[in-house]
Chains A and B, each alone.
Chain A
Amino acid sequence: MMHSASRTTTLAVPRAMRRPRDRALHVPLVAVVLLASIAVAAPWLAPVPPNQIPSDGLITASSPTMAHPFGTDPLGRDVLSRVLYGARVSLGVGTLSVALAVGFGGVIGAVAGFMGGVVDTVLMRLVDVLLAIPRLLLLLVVTALWESLPLSGLIVLLGLTGWYDVARLVRADVRALCGRDFVAAARAAGASPARVLWRHLVPHLQPTLLVLGTLGLANAIVLEASLSFLGLGVQPPQASWGSILGDGYVPGGRRWWLTLFPGIAVVSSVLTCNALADALRRRFDGRQVGV
């Protein structure tokens, strides 16, 4: 509480003198765009339709050949095509559910942080209660009980169970921001609470939301894959990385191609998302004015 706390920092290095920003953001960004492009372009990239069961030949899982570079699954369907189409499902479900989670959590958090008092307490205790319910267990139970879950249902489910952290962090950000002088200045200028919230607080939430979003996406991909692996998420015959993995599950590793290729897909997506989140965080740490 000392006066003039911002007088000079001990290492009085002016802003212009800091290290140049490292280019770490470009690599994960390109990777993400690449993944998304592959998913979008699946119909053109896939050699055969993903659900096509061979009319001739054996209806059996076979290891990779020239005709089927990733092999076939137990129903004879081409795994490469299924992985490509699976990208659409996995990434699509992931992205949409995260968008829902971030949007919903962001609103709750902003309202709680801004209004404070009773509203804040009620909302945050609600979050506390919801956090006490293990997410995976809840998802397992709901998807198990729900007969033939549609994709949209899966998205909503993932979204509504994934907003708690966002709410908390956004609330913390908003509370910190509210104490800043420029917010007081806006109030002193006569700005209404709505204006203060929209014009002065929300723009500063971008970094947090972006980082949480990318991390959430990684998480959502894994969750969807887990559920589909158990047969509870994406329903057959629709391909998802998790379901391909599930189809391939045979103890002893005899059908290794059914594990390796979708596995690589999941791992690389998750790593890319995490790398992007990290790069974003580092980029924003340098830029943000101390939120």
Chain B
Amino acid sequence: MTQPLLTVHDLRVTFETETGPARAVDSVSFTLHAGETLALVGESGCGKTLTALSVLQLLPDGGHLAPTSRITLRDQELTELAPGTLRGIRGREVAMIFQEPMAALNPVLRIGDQLAEVVRAHTEASRDEAWQRAVHMLERVGVPDAPLRARQYPHELSGGLCQRAMIAMALLLDPALVIADEPTTALDVTVQAQVLDVLRAQRERTGLALLLITHDLGVVAELASRVIVMYAGQVVEEAPVALLYDSPTHPYTAGLLAAVPTLDVERERLPDIPGTVPAATAWPAGCRFRDRCAHAWERCAIDAPALTQVAPAHRVRCHLVDEPERRRA
């Protein structure tokens, strides 16, 4: 087994709020190997975005990483790096793609300039060389008329083009790891298809590892090789993508998959998950999903289930693993 590219161990992120500390990310651990695409899936408030931001130490104001959390890139411990060294890694080894393309680009700089800036920040390239590399990368991600577009400002580009520009910016220095936070959520569906295609093509060319944050189970099915499902700040299931979709073990995963509307299904009632996510300031005792779970029994209210390995590469956090007979039909 090759050495993992990224190891996240016991990641805990807390926020100070008016009503007390909120444990937004509660002991999340996973590994990512080169060439793999790992999807972090979950709904609002599950902690997936914060998890991704933690990797690059980009937590928003008020967020604290617990001292026991470990984020290791190859053999470098990211939590212990000096800010300067960390900056060197950001953009070069690890790059990030954000959700709102037009918001993530500087509106007063031309696209080409922004890309060139990344090159010049990390290499000795001259102005011209950096520009050339920028234009070249824009072409590679499928931006038509790249030399022209590079001279334009973000507001002159459509959402899809901006997103591709952002992907170009992320891929410029050939990073080993790309973190994509909801890269297609803000895009129209036909544009989304194009962008997914670009990501796939780049992945094939460079063998980069992709950490994909999303709530869209369709996008996950298309891009990911492994999936981690998060709920209420915890990992509730982790499995290879085919296994997850075929036979989800955790009731939340099953509920989520069942609740996704699809074109092929005949029009009937969509199975939904009753209730809402509990507040991060007051996680319930025991299993955090129990109030919404169809299979819950007394144990679930008292005992918090641990993440258990049920098969190679398949982990589940649920008491049904121990007591499968409790699963209701």
Contact = CB atoms under 8 A, between A and B. Distances in A.
A285 to B, nearest CB: 14
Given A12-B50, A19-B17, 11 more contacts: A2-B186, A3-B188, A7-B185, A8-B182, A10-B103, A10-B182, A12-B49, A16-B22, A17-B22, A17-B280, A21-B18
A11 interface: yes
- Looking at chain A, what size class is its interface with the partner chain? 10 to 19
A16 B17 contact: yes
A20 interface: yes
Contacts of A33: none
B30 interface: no
Interface in B147-163: 159
B60 interface: yes
A12 B15 CA distance: 13
Contacts of A3: 188
B187 interface: yes
B24 interface: yes
A48 B215 CA distance: 75
18 contacts: A8-B44, A8-B185, A9-B99, A9-B100, A10-B49, A10-B100, A10-B103, A10-B181, A12-B44, A13-B24, A13-B63, A16-B281, A17-B15, A17-B17, A17-B22, A17-B24, A18-B62, A20-B18
Interface string B14-26: 0111110010100
Given A8-B44, A10-B100, A11-B53, A19 B61 contact: yes
Interface string B85-127: 0000000000000111001100000000000000000000000
B185 A19 contact: no
Contacts of B201: none
B16 A20 contact: yes
B279 interface: yes
A6 to B, nearest CB: 10
A1 to B, nearest CB: 9
A18 B22 CA distance: 10
B52 to A, nearest CB: 10
A65 interface: no
A132 interface: no
A3 B159 CA distance: 11
A283 to B, nearest CB: 14
For the complex of A and B, the 6 pairs showing the least CB-CB separation, nearest first, are A17-B15, A11-B60, A20-B18, A19-B62, A10-B99, A17-B17
Interface in A13-61: 13-14, 16-21
Nearest to A19: B62
Given A10-B98, A18-B62, A19-B61, A2 B188 contact: yes
A4 interface: yes
A2 B60 contact: no
Contact of B280 (A10, A11, A16): A16
Contact of A4 (B98, B186, B280, B281): B186
B94 to A, nearest CB: 17
A147 B84 CA distance: 69
A19 B18 CA distance: 7
Contacts, number: 66
A17 B282 CA distance: 12
A7 B100 CA distance: 10
Contacts of A20: 16-18
Contacts of A5: 186
Interface of A: 2-5, 7-14, 16-21
Contacts of B62: 17-19
A8 B17 contact: no
B45 A14 contact: yes
B288 to A, nearest CB: 15
A12 B53 CA distance: 11
Contacts of A14: 44-45, 280
A213 to B, nearest CB: 28
A32 B103 CA distance: 40
Nearest to A13: B60
B186 A12 contact: no
Of the candidates A5, A10, A20, A21, the one having the most CB atoms from chain B within 10 angstroms of its own CB is A10
B61 A12 contact: no
Contacts of A18: 17-18, 62
A8 B181 CA distance: 11
Contacts of A2: 159, 186-188
Contacts of A7: 185-186
Contact of A12 (B19, B45, B104, B281): B45
A9 B98 CA distance: 10
Interface string B33-67: 00000000000110001100100000011110000
Contacts of B100: 9-10
Interface string B244-278: 00000000000000000000000000000000000
Nearest to B102: A2
A12 to B, nearest CB: 5
Nearest to B45: A14
A21 B104 CA distance: 27
Interface string B137-152: 0000000000000000
Contacts of B45: 12, 14
Interface in B271-310: 279-281
B280 to A, nearest CB: 6
A237 to B, nearest CB: 54
B164 to A, nearest CB: 15
Nearest to A8: B44
A16 B18 contact: yes
Nearest to A5: B186
A4 B215 CA distance: 14
Contact of B99 (A8, A13, A16): A8
B122 to A, nearest CB: 23
